[in-house]
Amino acid sequence: MSYLNIKSGSVVVDCTLGAGGHSEQILKKLSPDGRLIGIDADADALEKTKNKLKEFGSSFTPVHDNFVNIDRILKKEGVKQADAIIMDLGISSDQLESEERGFSIKREGRLDMRMNRDSGLTAYDIVNRYSERDLSEMIKEYGEERLHNRVARYIAEARSKRPIETTTELASIVRRAAGFSYRKSKIDPATRTFQAIRIEVNNELGALEEGLKSAIFWLKGGGRIVVISFHSLEDRIVKNLFKGYSQLKILKIVTKKPVRPSPDETASNPRSRSAKLRAAERI
Ligand SMILES: C[S@@+](CC[C@H](N)C(=O)[O-])C[C@H]1O[C@@H](n2cnc3c(N)ncnc32)[C@H](O)[C@@H]1O
């Protein structure tokens, strides 16, 4: 909240509304004269959060869309410029914990992983239809998985018998490929392959790069942008973009190093452990 620097009357865009935790705090500071546009690709999250934030009335505008379309969204909403923009990337706990969304390596569900359930490509399509070579490339690039060739081979072998339908089926195939032993390894190797598939399904890195570039140009002089990322592929994009725009004198970097959660925060919220926050100000 301090990096966003919200004042009464501010115009703010929350690009990743989710359960509205950030938006609620922001609305408390900017209302009743300010405005918050809350974007989420997930219609279920939007419905729930609309209800939760209804006390803020016309200060809050929910939008079902991908933030890659921020130009179109803000034009349509009649926004001229923003005082602050936030992106809290990736998936929410609600999405991760819901079996039917098919994101979890632990909860059995049909392979899906779409943030926006109106969009086409699902995890099932990727796992069962991509060539072994494309799978291997994707797992290497988006999962940073050393054993990408082996994992892709095991997937191809398994699906040659019958399609791979569920999250838990896929997770056990990946664990077998990696020779995973729960006793020896801290991180389940299925996590990396699931991350890769999720990024591919939702074109997460493409949306981040394009969306962030556009968002920066909606900021007023002195306006702030804050991005919270959860893995190195995302953080690299944010870091490089901020650096490039600071060299061009478009942005001033506010956080020289990414801000990490305190030990207290990771103890009370273990999912925050990989979070990195970067903030910049429009010149
Ligand atoms: C980590 S959660 C955000 C949690 C939120 N900050 C809160 O306080 O509850 C990320 C949310 O952003 C959404 N999301 C991720 N990438 C998106 C994108 N490119 N466009 C729109 N929504 C996106 C997801 O659907 C998810 O609901």
pLDDT at position 183? 62
| pLDDT tens for the chain, residues 1 to 283 | 999 999 999 999 999 999 999 999 999 999 999 999 999 999 999 999 999 999 999 999 999 999 999 999 999 999 999 999 999 999 999 999 999 999 999 999 999 999 999 988 999 999 999 999 999 999 999 999 999 999 999 999 999 999 999 999 999 999 999 987 666 667 899 999 999 999 999 999 999 999 999 999 999 999 999 999 999 999 999 999 999 999 999 999 999 999 999 999 999 999 899 999 999 999 9
Please indicate, yes or no, if residue 222 is contained in any of the structural domains: yes
Query: Residue 173, Cα to own-chain centre: how many angstroms?
Result: 26
Which residues constitute the domain of residue 148? 99-202
3-state secondary structure of 150: helix
Among 202, 230, 252, identify where a domain stops. 202
CB-ligand 1 contact for 167 (6 Å cutoff): no
Number of domains in the chain: 2
118 contact partners, CB below 8 Å, separation of at least 6 = 43
The verdict on 103 and 193 lying in the same domain is yes
CB-ligand 1 contact for 18 (6 Å cutoff): yes
Atom index in ligand 1 nearest the CA of residue 67 equals 20
Q: Look at residues 104, 103, 270 and name the one whose alpha carbon lies nearest to residue 201.
A: 103
Distance 160 CA to ligand 1 centre (A): 35
The verdict on 77 and 109 lying in the same domain is no
For residue 279, what are the β-bridge partners?
Answer: 226
pLDDT at position 104? 96
CB-ligand 1 contact for 225 (6 Å cutoff): no
pLDDT at position 150? 96
Q: Look at residues 61, 51, 53 and name the one whose alpha carbon lies nearest to residue 11.
A: 61
CB-ligand 1 contact for 26 (6 Å cutoff): no
Please indicate, yes or no, if residue 139 is contained in any of the structural domains: yes
Nearest CA to ligand 1 atom 13: 16
Among 169, 202, 235, identify where a domain stops. 202
* Sign of CA pseudo-dihedral 266, 269, 271, 277: negative
Distance 212 CA to ligand 1 centre (A): 14
Please indicate, yes or no, if residue 211 is contained in any of the structural domains: yes
Among 202, 233, 254, identify where a domain stops. 202
Q: Best substitution site from 14, 22, 98, 115 to test ligand 1's pocket, by max atoms within 8 Å of Cβ?
A: 115
